[in-house]
A and B are shown apart, each in its own frame.
Chain A
């Protein structure tokens, strides 16, 4: 079952053409990695999937993106879409509230939740994010007292609390040390069973380690991003169809 189908996607920032001719499918229940050099539009592409580009002035999107068969611009409200498609950012950004309030932020938006139900949701989300054991006795402490890796897992728990179908991750481990990175990667592989994950990464080893599908973006001479190839990770890393892909993933670029 395809989670997203993207056809003829073009994105403009004002007069600047940022992404052109993106055609790809994103499979459900697997990890799709988007790789490519800086400025090639992979973050832009990721943000388009949950309409986060709408909050930036002057952004124009043409083409058709369907989430589970429904056009995300015509048949979904931005808010509804973002409930199904969650996003985790590069720099961990927990709210300056307690850990509990952070995780409960999402569920509280959608329904009036009783205290017991809330605790249950929080425990479930924090367990899924592999953070429960470390914070279960300080749920009311400020989220800012956690370490970087813990904060990022908290942000993941916060996203899991709204029970999305897809989790988008924009370079989730680039600001973390290797041990924290390893734990987040383990977490991503565990979450794959229940969620669809799309991750943007600069780290080739990470992409080859954890992803099932890989999409390689490049920037052309007019500074516009485009998709070079996409396919199974083992194929893209073992025998890429395009020489540019081979050169990039072997570190010959940049």
Chain B
């Protein structure tokens, strides 16, 4: 093969590899961004989703999220005053109030199969309804979100929902529901039920007579039938809710239930505190150590040992720092899980980075400048503070930014040292959690991958900002 062909082949390979890398990068960040911005939640519902009847009234809620859709049964319970608190829906203690305007009252009562006496409502609509309230009116209320009322159920022959051996259909998954509605489902056995053919009933009578039949029925009608014998059963379905994930409320709200609900407002503040205290602890020590290494240390065994030590420290896995922090700061010093232990652990971790970059920056200072300063009568200390440090400040700041980047993303070292309290720490000895840890805990304790992705997106953006700031500083320095 001649050299030209080899060269072209090589260029091709390089192009393919770099394209792969870029695609990978875009894919990873893109996926995180997508999951962080858009969440798809599966939830269990006793009514069919995305079926709403033509109602004569409008349901609206001042909440931004959490009440996008409402099951007919749940609304009936709320209307009867049986739901005092919205905690089970939003995770926050919010007292519930129902406002029904007078002109929509008849239609509402008819739709809900309620009498006026059974209804518990507030009559006067305030200018700004509270967060945990629901408003029933004839026209849409401005600045409030429409709540979708789902009032159809999946009614089936009782046999279908009955115990079959020791199995029973518990839930119709979203994909199976689609197949059922499209007529692609053959037998109830596929859903875990009896071996009966799936047949769509034309009316109520067929539903009660034909075995294995199903139909979509009004919730109100089903409820009316449920008292009688031969009443059809209903199957719960799995709904898929898609909504915006990361939002300003998430960024500023308080964390609830270890990340399942609520926001990351306090977490972000905690991260800021960790970064601040780590820099306060590590920067002076690091810069002073770099100064000593460059200006004062004589070449010899002690200096070489120290430099090897710094290199080794920078290569240690972070979990080892975590263990060290656990043994020394948490247990030996009796600080237990606290911001103090976490700060000191992370400072130890970022110290080598700071020392290395500061050292390099200081070495780059032209020795002629030092001579000039000394010749003007300055002492060595004065020269260091007036010439060396100002001249190397870009490099030192770059090191600081890299250290901040590492601090923000640190998980392993903090797991055993900083604890997991979700509030802003009152003192250095109280525990708090930071962003990277919060992601881990949201998945393990809080069980919400969507919230985890939202936090991840925030973290990725933070790291991107920090790194681009460092890059710009470095490139400015080169000029």
Chain A–chain B contact at Cβ < 8 A: yes
A82 CB within 8 Å of chain B: yes
A122 CB within 8 Å of chain B: no
A179 CB within 8 Å of chain B: no
Task: Give the complex CA separation of A57 and B369 in angstroms.
Answer: 18
Residues from 114 to 130 in A contacting B, C-beta threshold 8 Å: none
Find out whether the CB atom of B375 lies under 8 angstroms from the CB atom of A95: no
Determine how close the nearest CB of chain B comes to the CB of A90; give it in whole angstroms.
Answer: 9
A105 CB within 8 Å of chain B: yes
**Quick one: which of B368, B369, B374 contacts A52, CB cutoff 8 A?**
B374
Find out whether the CB atom of A109 lies under 8 angstroms from the CB atom of B376: yes
Find out whether the CB atom of B382 lies under 8 angstroms from the CB atom of A50: no
B257 CB within 8 Å of chain A: no
Find out whether the CB atom of A82 lies under 8 angstroms from the CB atom of B371: no
Find out whether the CB atom of A79 lies under 8 angstroms from the CB atom of B379: yes
Find out whether the CB atom of A105 lies under 8 angstroms from the CB atom of B366: no
Residues from 364 to 400 in B contacting A, C-beta threshold 8 Å: 366, 368-369, 371-379, 382, 386-387, 390-391
**Closest partner residue, chain A, to B365 (CB atom):** A96
Determine how close the nearest CB of chain A comes to the CB of B222; give it in whole angstroms.
Answer: 82
Find out whether the CB atom of A96 lies under 8 angstroms from the CB atom of B376: no
**Quick one: which of A86, A89, A162 contacts B368, CB cutoff 8 A?**
A89
Task: Give the complex CA separation of A87 and B390 in angstroms.
Answer: 23
Find out whether the CB atom of A95 lies under 8 angstroms from the CB atom of B371: no
Residues from 7 to 54 in A contacting B, C-beta threshold 8 Å: 50, 52
**Quick one: which of B298, B371, B377, B386 contacts A79, CB cutoff 8 A?**
B377
Find out whether the CB atom of A52 lies under 8 angstroms from the CB atom of B371: yes
Residues from 85 to 120 in A contacting B, C-beta threshold 8 Å: 86-87, 89, 91, 93-97, 105-106, 109-110
Contacts of A52 in B (CB 8 A): 371, 374-375
Determine how close the nearest CB of chain A comes to the CB of B169; give it in whole angstroms.
Answer: 78
Find out whether the CB atom of A93 lies under 8 angstroms from the CB atom of B379: no
Contacts of B379 in A (CB 8 A): 79
**Quick one: which of A55, A93, A97, A106 contacts B377, CB cutoff 8 A?**
A106
Find out whether the CB atom of B366 lies under 8 angstroms from the CB atom of A93: yes
User: Chain B interface secondary structure, helix, strand, loop or mixed?
Assistant: helix
Find out whether the CB atom of A93 lies under 8 angstroms from the CB atom of B368: yes
Contacts of A155 in B (CB 8 A): 372
Chain B residues with a Cβ closer than 8 Å to the other chain, count: 18
A214 CB within 8 Å of chain B: no
A201 CB within 8 Å of chain B: no
Say yes or no: A159-B376 contact (C-beta < 8 A), given A95-B387, A96-B391, A109-B382.
yes
Contacts of A60 in B (CB 8 A): none
A158 CB within 8 Å of chain B: yes
A83 CB within 8 Å of chain B: yes
Determine how close the nearest CB of chain A comes to the CB of B375; give it in whole angstroms.
Answer: 4
Task: Give the complex CA separation of A99 and B186 in angstroms.
Answer: 89
Contacts of A95 in B (CB 8 A): 369, 372-373, 387, 391
Contacts of A158 in B (CB 8 A): 372, 376
Contacts of B368 in A (CB 8 A): 89, 91, 93
Task: Give the complex CA separation of A109 and B369 in angstroms.
Answer: 16
Contacts of B382 in A (CB 8 A): 109
Task: Give the complex CA separation of A83 and B368 in angstroms.
Answer: 18
Say yes or no: A162-B371 contact (C-beta < 8 A), given A93-B366, A96-B391, A105-B386.
no
Find out whether the CB atom of A82 lies under 8 angstroms from the CB atom of B372: no
Contacts of B377 in A (CB 8 A): 79-80, 82-83, 106, 109-110, 162
**Quick one: which of A80, A86, A91, A110 contacts B375, CB cutoff 8 A?**
A86
Determine how close the nearest CB of chain B comes to the CB of A137; give it in whole angstroms.
Answer: 25
**Closest partner residue, chain B, to A57 (CB atom):** B298
Task: Give the complex CA separation of A80 and B374 in angstroms.
Answer: 11
Task: Give the complex CA separation of A91 and B378 in angstroms.
Answer: 20
**Quick one: which of A83, A93, A96 contacts B371, CB cutoff 8 A?**
A93
Determine how close the nearest CB of chain A comes to the CB of B33; give it in whole angstroms.
Answer: 42
Contacts of A55 in B (CB 8 A): 371, 374
Determine how close the nearest CB of chain B comes to the CB of A37; give it in whole angstroms.
Answer: 24
Determine how close the nearest CB of chain A comes to the CB of B42; give it in whole angstroms.
Answer: 61
Interface centre among B366, B376, B386, B391 (most CB of A within 10 A): B376
Contacts of B371 in A (CB 8 A): 52, 55, 89, 93
Contacts of A96 in B (CB 8 A): 369, 390-391
**Closest partner residue, chain B, to A88 (CB atom):** B375
Find out whether the CB atom of B373 lies under 8 angstroms from the CB atom of A105: yes
Contacts of B372 in A (CB 8 A): 89, 93-95, 155, 158
Determine how close the nearest CB of chain A comes to the CB of B368; give it in whole angstroms.
Answer: 4
Contacts of B298 in A (CB 8 A): 57
**Closest partner residue, chain A, to B367 (CB atom):** A93
Task: Give the complex CA separation of A57 and B387 in angstroms.
Answer: 21
What would 9 A/B residue contacts be, using CB atoms closer than 8 Å? A52-B375, A89-B368, A91-B368, A95-B387, A97-B390, A109-B377, A159-B376, A162-B376, A162-B377
List residues of A whose CB falls within 8 A of some B CB: 50, 52, 55, 57, 79-80, 82-83, 86-87, 89, 91, 93-97, 105-106, 109-110, 155, 158-159, 162
Can you name 20 extra interface pairs (CB under 8 A) apart from A82-B377, A89-B368?
Answer: A52-B374, A52-B375, A57-B298, A79-B377, A80-B377, A82-B375, A82-B376, A86-B375, A87-B375, A89-B375, A93-B368, A95-B369, A95-B373, A95-B391, A96-B369, A109-B378, A155-B372, A159-B375, A159-B376, A162-B376
Q: Closest 7 interchain pairs by CB?
A: A93-B368, A82-B377, A87-B375, A83-B377, A106-B376, A93-B372, A79-B377
